[in-house]
Amino acid sequence: MNLSENALAVLNKRYFKKDDQGRPIENWQQLLDRVSSNISGGDVSKKEKYFKLMDSGYFLPNSPTLMNAGNDLQQLSACFVLPIEDSMEGIFDTIKNAALIHKSGGGTGFNFSKLREANARVRSTKGVSSGPLSFLKVFNAATDAVKQGGTRRGANMAILNVDHPEILEFITCKENPDDLTNFNISVGLSEKFMRAVHDDIDFELISPYTREIVNKVKARAVFDLIVDMAYRNGEPGIIFIDRINKFNPTPQLGRIDSTNPCGEQPLLPNEACNLGSINLSAFVKDSKFDFDTLKMIVRDSVSFLNDVIDRSRFPLPEIEEVVKSNRKIGLGIMGWADVLYQMKIPYNSDQAIDLAEEIMEYIDYYSKIRSIELAVESGKFSNFKGSIYEKGNLIRSNNNLDWQKLREEIAGKGIRNASTTTIAPTGTIGMIANTSGGIEPQFSLIYVKSVMDGDKLLYINPYFEKAIKRADLYSEELMEKVSEIGSIAKMEEIPEEIREVFVTAHDISPQWHIKMQAAFQKYTDNAVSKTINFPNNATKEDIKMAYELAYESGCKGVTVYRDGSRDNQVLNVGKKLKSELNGNRVAPRQRPAVTTGVTQKIETGCGHLYVTINSDENGPCELFTQMGKVGGCASAQLEAIARLVSLCLRSNVKVTSIIKQLRGIRCPSPMWHQGEMVTSCGDSVAKSLDTFLQISQNSEKNIDEINQNMTKVKSKSNSKKINGTCPDCGSNIEHSEGCMKCNICGWTKC
């Protein structure tokens, strides 16, 4: 496979083995040799087949397999679901188990619905429960402390069923984007709830502890709240939990309550699944799709993923038992948008929907044919008895292939894997294969992607570039214009036949996004990872319509994202892109000739510090510092801080963001100032900015009144028992309700 510069950057950063100094000691061929040798289990012919499979560009397994196969860790699965029982022991056992999974490189999903609501009685202590949201924060904090395989923090999915008494609080729990940063959240919607929304009637909230009705709410009001929050920041997502269980392959083992972090892999408690994806863009030859080669690649890919189960080292024995009893694999796809570009088919067309169904039916059907063959060779999965396969209940409609014949063959011979197909996002393996992710349309024809540790990688779609050159339209000016806009839909200088084919995410209406997801879901065992992208000017009604259409068209869940609704998004286009490509980034506004401001005096361990903050017509624009003792290291550092803060202020960085970065920085000489601990000169600048915000918010008051009010605040804080500094952020801590606590970062100790 020919690797792009971007692919090599990702491989060097995350996948290649490294020495003790963190330097890569592998190349692509050595990685493939390591992975194929390990997964083949010493079978020479298999090793050669698996090496060619990955090097061909047709197929790649999920990231943990590429990273860990043949290494000490040997944890090869990406997706895990853990149970949470309604007891202190059960909750913290799950936290411990999640930490072990994160350490090994996996992501975890949880359903918090078994936890009794806040203030419910706790029989053992005669007290009351703190509720699922309090424990969700504990799970989030634990994830912060553990890096996946030593390289990144773990990812989680939190689900709460819509009939839980704390569902309204859960829906809004990520209103602040700084909260629960290690979790995606989704609401589990039942068939009963969706009927209540349709009929506009009340819906009952039921205590998971007593099973009693504790409240009734308007179903549409709950649904509208989900829509409102998704409009504001993209969360929560929704999953149709009853529909997921309708397709549960082993209902005799219990209900499926949760999914992996991206939502495409519903799993039983203590179950894991390894995924892999076929690069569909590699099968287009002369604008035609090569189904014959696809059949061969599907067979080899299923064999590979099935062998991964036997080679994987699982972090918990309970997980190993369930995995090896069900043997679920998830073969999916990537490169769908690039397929359509090559075949000159608009994403938002019936022709694309029909092709999606045809290709996914083919993959699903022949993945099961190969799994039947593996069952004949090695035995059907252990929990086959009582499964949908034994009963002939595999739900597929006959389209191009004979599903009835397949059902009969499975019932007679068995099948090796309880599931064979899943469509994942393929973020990084798509980058390695240099193709579009999953079934998503291209976000932009030219864009920058933010990847690990803030790195930026430039992408220009090769099929668009070829089309423009074939039309003899290529120029630097045109490409620059495309990079600014991100779309060619309204660029009349480009022929209409090119504009119709090279559509991007925001050119496509939500209806077509949903139709495409539903087309692939029709022939996928598990679920389909798909984000419905909305432009910034989309309305709440647009999002509501997308949710309703997803339910009506057979999707198992849906996630929406309105462009610009979060401060930090992964993909960016437009002027921000242009400035980054040119290396200019954001330029600060000019300082006016005259500014006005306030000066504060603060005692620090280095001496008296005077901090002046000035404003122009747009708000704060500069900060100056003056130390009582001129010269020396402290003064030089303070001047550097002041210059950088001034640059940030004139570049429209939020003052609160600057405060957050400077607050609590510690030096060897902390100092008390008016009842607060000043931990360093940088901390004193943060405190000055905080006071400045208070003054700005009360600008109608005169300085004397503000000083008097601040004195009262300081006097009140001095009346509290202050004892030391917070070990996490360095701010002062206070005693309250028998505990020490930090009001800045939330650290507590009782």
Q: What is the pLDDT of residues 620-633, one digit of tens each?
A: 999 999 886 555 67
The C-alpha atoms of residue 675 and residue 698 are separated, in whole angstroms, by 22
The reported pLDDT for the residue numbered 613 is 94
The C-alpha atoms of residue 671 and residue 601 are separated, in whole angstroms, by 13
Going by the DSSP 8-state scheme, the letter that residue 454 receives in this structure is G
Q: What is the pLDDT of residues 16-25, one digit of tens each?
A: 999 999 899 9
What is the three-class DSSP state of 560? strand
- Spell out the alpha helix ranges (H) of 312-445: 317-326, 336-343, 350-378, 403-413, 427-432
The reported pLDDT for the residue numbered 704 is 56
- 642 CB neighbour count, 10 Å cutoff: 19
The reported pLDDT for the residue numbered 749 is 44
Looking at 20-24, 63-67, 605-609, 739-743, which range is the least confident one? 739-743
- Contact (CB, 8 A) for 258 and 112: no
The reported pLDDT for the residue numbered 291 is 98
- Contact (CB, 8 A) for 256 and 250: no
The reported pLDDT for the residue numbered 629 is 53
- Could you give the angle at which helices 88-103 and 132-145 cross, rounded to 10 degrees? 30
For domain 79-252, the CATH class is alpha beta
Which of the residue ranges 11-20, 98-107, 452-461, 626-635 has the most confident prediction, judged by mean pLDDT? 11-20
The reported pLDDT for the residue numbered 231 is 93
Average pLDDT, the chain: 87
When pLDDT is averaged across residues 687-691 and rounded to a whole number, the result is 89
- Contact (CB, 8 A) for 357 and 364: no
Looking at 350-364, 584-598, 656-670, which range is the least confident one? 584-598
Q: What is the H or E stretch that residue 446 is in?
A: strand 446-450
Tell whether the model's pLDDT for residue 716 goes beyond 80.
no
> Which residues have C-beta within 8 Å of that of residue 616, sequence separation ≥ 6?
591, 592, 595
The C-alpha atoms of residue 727 and residue 175 are separated, in whole angstroms, by 27
Catalytic sites, residue numbers: 260, 262, 264
Q: Model-level pTM?
A: 0.77
Given its phi and psi angles, is residue 129 left (phi above 0), alpha (psi -120 to 50 degrees) or beta? beta
The reported pLDDT for the residue numbered 734 is 45
Concatenate the DSSP letters of all residues of 238-297 into one string: EEEHHHHHHT-S-GGG----EE-TTSS-EE-TTEEEEEEEEEGGGGEETTEE-HHHHHHH
The reported pLDDT for the residue numbered 344 is 97
Q: What is the pLDDT of residues 519-571, one digit of tens each?
A: 999 999 999 999 998 888 899 999 999 999 999 999 999 999 998 787 555 55
- Contact (CB, 8 A) for 61 and 304: yes
The C-alpha atoms of residue 261 and residue 257 are separated, in whole angstroms, by 13
Q: Where in the chain is the domain with CATH 3.20.70.20?
A: 79-252
Name the residue among 263, 326, 274 with its Cα closest to residue 302.
274
Tell whether the model's pLDDT for residue 583 goes beyond 70.
no
The reported pLDDT for the residue numbered 743 is 42
The reported pLDDT for the residue numbered 571 is 55
Q: Which two tokens stand for residue 148?
A: 């996946």
Tell whether the model's pLDDT for residue 746 goes beyond 90.
no
Tell whether the model's pLDDT for residue 581 goes beyond 50.
no
- Could you give the angle at which helices 350-378 and 510-521 cross, rounded to 10 degrees? 20
When pLDDT is averaged across residues 280-292 and rounded to a whole number, the result is 97
Q: What is the pLDDT of residues 230-246, one digit of tens each?
A: 999 899 999 999 999 99
748-749: strand order across its sheet: 722-725, 732-736, 739-741, 748-749
Share of the chain above pLDDT 70, in %: 86
Q: What is the pLDDT of residues 727-742, one digit of tens each?
A: 544 444 444 433 444 5
The reported pLDDT for the residue numbered 745 is 42
